[in-house]
Amino acid sequence: MAGTKTKKKAADKEAGIDRFSPDQLRHFLREMLLYRRFEEKAEEAYAIGKIGGFCHLHIGQEAVALGFIGPLRKDDYVISAYREHTQALAKGVEPNIVMAELFGREGGSSGGKGGSMHIFNADQGFMGGHGIVGAQVALASGMAWAIKYRGGDQVCVCFMGDAAVNQGAFHEALNMSAIWKLPVIYVVENNHYGMGTAFSRVSAVPVVDRAKGYGIPAHSVNGQDILETWAFAEDLVEEVRGGAGPQYVDAQTYRFKGHSMSDPVSGTYRSKEEVQEKTERDDPIRLLRDRMYDAEMLDEEELKEMDAEARKLVDEAAEFADASPLPDPSELYTHVYAEENPHGRLYFDGRERPGQEA
Amino acid sequence: MAGTKTKKKAADKEAGIDRFSPDQLRHFLREMLLYRRFEEKAEEAYAIGKIGGFCHLHIGQEAVALGFIGPLRKDDYVISAYREHTQALAKGVEPNIVMAELFGREGGSSGGKGGSMHIFNADQGFMGGHGIVGAQVALASGMAWAIKYRGGDQVCVCFMGDAAVNQGAFHEALNMSAIWKLPVIYVVENNHYGMGTAFSRVSAVPVVDRAKGYGIPAHSVNGQDILETWAFAEDLVEEVRGGAGPQYVDAQTYRFKGHSMSDPVSGTYRSKEEVQEKTERDDPIRLLRDRMYDAEMLDEEELKEMDAEARKLVDEAAEFADASPLPDPSELYTHVYAEENPHGRLYFDGRERPGQEA
Amino acid sequence: MQTITYREALNQALAEEMERDPDVFLMGEEVAEYDGAYKVSKGLLDRFGEKRIVDSPISELGFAGLGVGAAMVGLRPVIEFMTFNFSILALDQVLNSAAKMLYMSGGQIPMPIVFRGPTGAALQLSAQHSQACEVWYVHAPGIKVVTPGTPADAKGLLKAAIRDPDPVVVMEGELLYNVKGEVPDVEDGDFVIPLGKADLKREGGDVSIITHGKMIHTALQAAAKLEKEGIQADVLDLRSLRPLDVDAILETVRKTNRAVYLEEGWPYAGVGAQIVSIIQEEAFDHLDAPVIRVTQADVPMPYAKNLEQLAKPGVDRVISACNRVLYRN
Amino acid sequence: MQTITYREALNQALAEEMERDPDVFLMGEEVAEYDGAYKVSKGLLDRFGEKRIVDSPISELGFAGLGVGAAMVGLRPVIEFMTFNFSILALDQVLNSAAKMLYMSGGQIPMPIVFRGPTGAALQLSAQHSQACEVWYVHAPGIKVVTPGTPADAKGLLKAAIRDPDPVVVMEGELLYNVKGEVPDVEDGDFVIPLGKADLKREGGDVSIITHGKMIHTALQAAAKLEKEGIQADVLDLRSLRPLDVDAILETVRKTNRAVYLEEGWPYAGVGAQIVSIIQEEAFDHLDAPVIRVTQADVPMPYAKNLEQLAKPGVDRVISACNRVLYRN
Ligand SMILES: Cc1ncc(C[n+]2csc(CCOP(=O)(O)OP(=O)(O)O)c2C)c(N)n1
Ligand SMILES: Cc1ncc(C[n+]2csc(CCOP(=O)(O)OP(=O)(O)O)c2C)c(N)n1
Ligand SMILES: [Mg+2]
Ligand SMILES: [Mg+2]
């Protein structure tokens, strides 16, 4: 039954390192190192108050971002929740403007107005950055609707956390994507916890089964293994591009850090031991590194260079961000509306604004 | 897999007329006749303007109401949507006060404040009468939660239309009932249409499959056959009372009339022929009558008497309703709040009200 | 000039804009095969096909979100709520996605979407189906709200809303759909009413009755009765709540020095409260009396005919409010 | 008297009411194992067990509805929204089920439920996480709304809310949880503050600063600065928005003849608009100047530190509003 098949496609490619060229593999490593160092830099910057508000790090989940976004075209769409820095990078958004957005600066992807939870870059097809759990799932159906409406062959990839499957928006959106056969891939970044709540406490069935009621093919993939994830996603994206309709993926992964900067890495909800075991055993970067070592496609020297490169890029990003000025105060009232109709008042705070009566 | 078993239990009882005593069968007939005549009377009253607003008739679906509510105890809860007149009757609410509510009179179950869509009778455990599609599904989980919280052995039966399964509230409520194993039976009155929309146009899978994602047992039953429905429901209610947890039932039925009084019985969305075939072949009252005829448990005389009885009851109900006065104008401001705290203003319309400064 | 119903006017507006712009589509419950619960989209399925006239599941949050997503990539969705009562389920997507998208994205993602449908009470639909929902929307920056009360305004404002680059909530009225009125002929070309312009529906001078939406008809009836008593009332129809034609409000108040705000909804933090606040702040010295508001009774809408009548703001209440601000009897 | 934080005060209120009444339970996201996202329910799981302190899925509409259903049959749920920003998803169950249940049932089904959590902005949480949500709730009859600004008010009002037979929305503030203040000792017995009583947080006489929720602290700072300039301000904390202590509002205005309303939220149809409307109607002849409102900038909340600072209503804006109504400089 199509609605519930969990073909482990990628499994066939278990040792499928040979599917990828040495250059590709090095690219994977470079990318994931960049994501990792970027988030570590963000962590640093947050600690010294350069970044404020909520900041959700993606450390540990890099392979899911790279695996599902890497195979996409520039004109494909990606949309996500608030844990989206690395996904933006994966979709080709400049590290500089992402970091500047985290810093809340004029040079940021949203000019400093969005912040960590709202990274957008329309040119690269990165459509945010959304803070209401589950909301982006319906937005993704809408973008996929538009693709089909225009007869295009793009694909929309929508990331969500495991806890998002309990939102009504998830239910309504998946059903609509199913009845209208929309070109969208729903990727649940299943890190097994929503903040401090284990998924098993808020669902009677595993993540992969939560799409059974819609007639949407469901899949599971090891989201810590970039080779498996990429191979699986690359094929799936082409299927969807070819008209296979909506897909649902349980990408099993793990959050190495706390939910957000203010939350503990471990606590009552998950033990130190669990976190330690996971971070040691399932680090996507280390896993790739070791497989490349085994295949003698990488030596320590090269790795060091790659890492230095990544660190250099994020240092530059931080410098760029730091050098970028705060938004001009006049920006407070820009982008509220795209058009201020010639007639009538739009703002009721009675404040002075450039070009409007108080 | 518990989540998706569709045991056709009742099927074993296909010809299970022997499960029921002659008195029981006569009771079934009497009840369904009452429901049918009641709705016909409502239709009449609506035509001459005694009933206003929206009025959704249950004609054709009587066996679902009787089958699932009949086996309940008085202290069990029933909750429904806006097509609930007959369900109220089935739960023991006086025809007189239901009709008076439709008439918008003081003697109505809600004193005339609720109307057709909001029949309530707490004493009989009939908990409404709700107008927002899907909302009652979450309320049902709450009542079931309360039962479990208090360690009681009651059961909550929640009726909804097929279109309600597409609401987020349905999704969130079923998931919570599953994880907390609440004593609730969700009965989808699957009449195959939501207003003018065939279910097959708004769902990629059949009604019974829509609960597959929650780990809740799903069942199908022929809702036009009171014997099958009652037998099935009677067993299921006891299972749930015994701790079996939430259940989901696709009760297949058919709406013989238009969606509401203002809507056509047939039209672009369903053909005259379809309606004619269904009403002739699947009338729950005629089906029971014929089986009782076959079993020689009923003759035309008796049926005539029963029907006369039913008509008498609904005529009395209409007379009662008609004789009941309109609510006193002072009722406008009662039951907005249960308690007007000694301090402060609660109403801001600047109008004169008994016992409050304007 | 053609004399058509409010329903037909909306239908023309939709058809003309869909002809004009292939990116415009209509989605909602029963809009296609059923011609719309209130027949506003009659015939559009045949004319534009199921790709552009789309029946949705009963999933308000979902299809509102789908519309927002489609607008994110440049389509111009018209999302119909069967009634705005049900739009409360979709409010998150309107307030948190549509209204904030342009801002959160630093101007990258415009949001050209229309949410439309009837708001307010009809007849005996009881508490859950009789709500005036203006406040939920107009309170939030990033949204525009219009409330046409006549066929001409319905056509002109809906067309403007569909062309507007921002999210526009178009609030109609179930009891307005059959109202007839003059509307410029289609041949006379594109008839668009800019957002943000109020319309003085009646010229008086003694007192200003300011209102919006279907209440303009109640206001005009009250004004007609007042005339018999020798009182000439201005009836100002705001038409657009955001942008708001403050100049027109101040002009009538400065002329009459007395104002009444009439609205269908509840009083607490209602639209009228905002208008009163603006008037007392910006025309303080022109007021000879406090501005009085006439609203629905501050209760859920009851079903019983007599109670519903009492609950609704009626002509008599408008008249006595006018008398109060005129210090008569 | 004990000096405790606002957070501890809420925690005490919950614990005391749960001790007193076995029908009271707390449900929400992260309230149990995690002690609450903001630690308001710290220790309650250990004390009352998982039957009464319940972690919910992220299903606001669902668990709000579940709470309403539980209240329909007599339990007294306390439903925590992690923040009220997310409660927009649940608004239908609050407005259409909770607020109307008693009315639609003709008095048969009381609705003793509390919805609580932080509202308004914290620090740099950006547009979707920084909304003051009072208006969505206070607009609708059938609901009561309280907005405690101090630890004592938090404890006294939450206890009253839990005992109230009607739906009460208790709006807290993320930036208030660490605020310390004096609260009567538990030994001194049951400390309950009746709904509907405002509190004059500061006695002045020259001008009235009327406000609610966390803004009282901004108002008090402004009053302190004004004092240096020789101006004595009344600071009236409404505490309860519905029921509303109109007498207290009129009293301070009749005394000072000048008023400023300060609130955290947006202006259009804000709480302040309602208060202004009441004042101008019921104290018209006492006003020497229009009532001025100080609100958040009428924009979605920006992330950047400087823009957020500009967007929020600050002490300086309150002071200049006071100067305006006093016609100073
Ligand atoms: C509708 C809504 N409710 C609550 C929150 C607060 N919140 C932010 S993240 C989060 C947990 C989400 O967990 P999950 O979906 O698994 O994503 P993860 O953080 O694990 O990546 C919660 C409850 C929110 N942002 N939106
Ligand atoms: C949330 C919501 N959306 C729309 C409506 C309008 N409406 C009332 S009944 C109905 C169709 C429901 O169909 P179904 O659930 O199958 O129940 P049936 O009428 O067939 O018994 C609709 C769309 C509503 N009441 N609530
Ligand atoms: Mg997670
Ligand atoms: Mg149906």
How many CA atoms lie less than 13 Å away from C76 in the CB half-sphere? 20
Q: At what angle do helices B95-103 and B300-323 cross, to 10 degrees?
A: 50
Give tens-digit pLDDT for A310-331: 999 999 999 999 999 999 999 9
Please judge whether A204 and B170 are an interchain contact, meaning their C-beta atoms are less than 8 angstroms apart.
no
Among residues of chain A, what percentage have pLDDT more than 70?
A: 94
Give D66's contacts in chain B (Cβ within 8 Å). Answer: 138-139, 141-142, 145, 173, 176
Q: What is the pLDDT of residue A353?
A: 84
Q: What is the pLDDT of residue D329?
A: 73
| Rounded CA separation A28/A17 (Å) | 12
Residue D159 CA, distance from chain mean position: 14
DSSP bridge partners of C172? C118
Nearest residue of A to residue D127 by CA position?
A114
The residue count for chain D: 329
Give tens-digit pLDDT for B298-314: 999 999 999 999 999 99
Task: Tell me, using a 6 A CB cutoff, whether residue D80 lines ligand 1.
Answer: no
List C129, C139, C227, C251, catalytic entry: C129
Strands B77-80 and C180-183: unpaired
Give tens-digit pLDDT for D210-260: 999 999 999 999 999 999 999 999 999 999 999 999 999 999 999 999 999
Q: Give φ, ψ of C53 to 5 degrees.
A: -120, 105
Average pLDDT over chain A reads 94
Omega within 30 of 0 (cis) for the link into C243: yes
Residue D314 touches partner A, C-beta closer than 8 Å: no
Residue B357 has pLDDT above 50, yes or no: no
Residue C127 touches partner B, C-beta closer than 8 Å: yes
Please judge whether B343 and D245 are an interchain contact, meaning their C-beta atoms are less than 8 angstroms apart.
yes
* CB of C116 closer than 8 Å to CB of C87: no
Average pLDDT over chain D reads 98
Q: B52 CB contacts (<8 Å, ≥6 apart)?
A: B46, B104, B115, C123, C124, C303, C305
- Minimum-distance CB partner of C297 among B167, B267, B349: B349
| Rounded CA separation A294/C299 (Å) | 74
Give the pair of three-digit tokens for residue C137.
């929307």
Position A39, amino acid: E
Chain B neighbours (≥3 Cβ pairs under 8 A) are A, C, D
Residue the block writes with tokens 């009225």: C173
How many CA atoms lie less than 13 Å away from D49 in the CB half-sphere? 5
Q: A242 CB contacts (<8 Å, ≥6 apart)?
A: none
Residue C63 touches partner A, C-beta closer than 8 Å: yes
Q: What is the pLDDT of residue A3?
A: 39
* CB of D120 closer than 8 Å to CB of D130: yes
Q: What is the pLDDT of residue A14?
A: 53
| Rounded CA separation D61/C34 (Å) | 29
Please judge whether A167 and B172 are an interchain contact, meaning their C-beta atoms are less than 8 angstroms apart.
yes
Q: What is the pLDDT of residue A9?
A: 46
Task: Tell me, using a 6 A CB cutoff, whether residue A161 lines ligand 1.
Answer: yes
Q: What is the pLDDT of residue A2?
A: 39
* CB of B212 closer than 8 Å to CB of B180: no
| Rounded CA separation D110/D134 (Å) | 23
Instruction: Give catalytic status of residue C134 as yes or no.
Output: no
Omega within 30 of 0 (cis) for the link into D243: yes
Chain D neighbours (≥3 Cβ pairs under 8 A) are A, B, C
Task: Tell me, using a 6 A CB cutoff, whether residue D82 lines ligand 1.
Answer: yes
Query: Where would I find the beta strands (DSSP E) of A204-246?
Result: 218-222
How open is the CA angle B139-B145-B151, to the nearest 5 degrees?
145
How open is the CA angle B202-B206-B208, to the nearest 5 degrees?
125
The runs of H, that is alpha helices, within chain B are 22-47, 62-69, 85-90, 95-103, 135-149, 168-179, 199-202, 226-241, 272-281, 284-294, 300-323
Residue the block writes with tokens 């020497």: D288
Query: What residues of chain C score a pLDDT lower than 50?
Result: none
Interface pTM, i.e. ipTM: 0.97
Give the pair of three-digit tokens for residue D253.
């205005």
Q: What is the mean pLDDT of residues A97-124?
A: 98
Q: Give φ, ψ of A66 to 5 degrees.
A: -65, -45
Q: From residue B269, how far is each of B82, C206, D127 by CA, in Å?
A: 21, 54, 43
| Rounded CA separation B224/C224 (Å) | 58
Residue B108 touches partner D, C-beta closer than 8 Å: yes
Task: Tell me, using a 6 A CB cutoff, whether residue C82 lines ligand 2.
Answer: yes
Give D298's contacts in chain A (Cβ within 8 Å). Answer: 336, 346-349, 351
How many CA atoms lie less than 13 Å away from B211 in the CB half-sphere? 33
* CB of B159 closer than 8 Å to CB of B187: yes
Q: What is the pLDDT of residue B11?
A: 43
| Rounded CA separation C243/C253 (Å) | 19
List C8, C17, C29, C60, catalytic entry: C60
Identify which of C120, C290, C125, D62 has the alpha carbon closest to the alpha carbon of residue A202: D62
**Residue A262: band (very low, low, confident or very high) from pLDDT cuts 50, 70, 90:** confident
| Rounded CA separation C52/A145 (Å) | 11
3-state helix, strand, coil in chain C (%, to 5): 40, 20, 40
Residue B27 has pLDDT above 90, yes or no: yes
Please judge whether B3 and A205 are an interchain contact, meaning their C-beta atoms are less than 8 angstroms apart.
yes
Residue C11 CA, distance from chain mean position: 16
Q: Is D84 helix (H, G, I), strand (E, B) or coil?
A: helix
Give the pair of three-digit tokens for residue C22.
């292939």
**Residue B1: band (very low, low, confident or very high) from pLDDT cuts 50, 70, 90:** very low
- The secondary structure of C20-48 as a DSSP string is H-TTEEEEETTSSTTS-TTSTTTTHHHHH
Give the pair of three-digit tokens for residue C256.
């009459």
- Ordered strands of the A77-80 beta sheet: A126-129, A77-80, A156-161, A184-190, A247-252, A218-222
Identify which of A40, D274, D24, B77 has the alpha carbon closest to the alpha carbon of residue C274: D274
State which ligand 2 atom lies nearest to the alpha carbon of C89: 1
Strands D76-80 and D114-118: parallel
| Rounded CA separation C54/C35 (Å) | 11
Residue D284 touches partner B, C-beta closer than 8 Å: no
Task: Tell me, using a 6 A CB cutoff, whether residue A132 lines ligand 1.
Answer: yes
Residue B54 has pLDDT above 60, yes or no: yes
Identify which of B249, B189, B194 has the alpha carbon closest to the alpha carbon of residue B65: B189
Task: Tell me, using a 6 A CB cutoff, whether residue C89 lines ligand 2.
Answer: yes
Among residues of chain D, what percentage have pLDDT more than 90?
A: 98
Q: Give φ, ψ of C266 to 5 degrees.
A: -80, 155
Identify which of D71, D77, D38, D75 has the alpha carbon closest to the alpha carbon of residue D54: D77
Distance (Å) from CA B164 to ligand 2 centroid: 7
Q: Is A353 helix (H, G, I), strand (E, B) or coil?
A: strand
Residue A293 has pLDDT above 70, yes or no: yes
Identify which of C146, B236, C143 has the alpha carbon closest to the alpha carbon of residue D299: C143
Q: What is the pLDDT of residue C13?
A: 98
Residue B119 has pLDDT above 70, yes or no: yes
Give tens-digit pLDDT for D30-61: 999 999 999 999 999 999 999 999 999 999 99
Please judge whether B170 and A171 are an interchain contact, meaning their C-beta atoms are less than 8 angstroms apart.
yes
- Torsion angle, CA of A295/A301/A302/A304, rounded to 10 degrees? 120
* CB of B105 closer than 8 Å to CB of B116: no
How open is the CA angle C95-D217-C271, to the nearest 5 degrees?
35
| Rounded CA separation B103/D106 (Å) | 14
Q: What is the pLDDT of residue B262?
A: 87
| Rounded CA separation B156/B78 (Å) | 6
Please judge whether B120 and D73 are an interchain contact, meaning their C-beta atoms are less than 8 angstroms apart.
no
Please judge whether B127 and D72 are an interchain contact, meaning their C-beta atoms are less than 8 angstroms apart.
yes
Residue D135 CA, distance from chain mean position: 11
Give tens-digit pLDDT for A123-158: 999 999 999 999 999 999 999 999 999 999 999 999
Q: Is D234 helix (H, G, I), strand (E, B) or coil?
A: strand
| Rounded CA separation A87/D200 (Å) | 51
Give C96's contacts in chain A (Cβ within 8 Å). Answer: 131-132, 135
Give tens-digit pLDDT for D159-204: 999 999 999 999 999 999 999 999 999 888 899 999 999 999 999 9
**Residue B353: band (very low, low, confident or very high) from pLDDT cuts 50, 70, 90:** confident
DSSP state of B83: -
Q: From residue C329, how far is each of B189, C219, C288, D284 by CA, in Å?
A: 59, 20, 16, 19
Q: A250 CB contacts (<8 Å, ≥6 apart)?
A: A6, A188, A190, A206, A207, A208, A218, A219, A220, A221
Q: D313 CB contacts (<8 Å, ≥6 apart)?
A: D215, D218, D262, D263, D264, D294, D295, D296
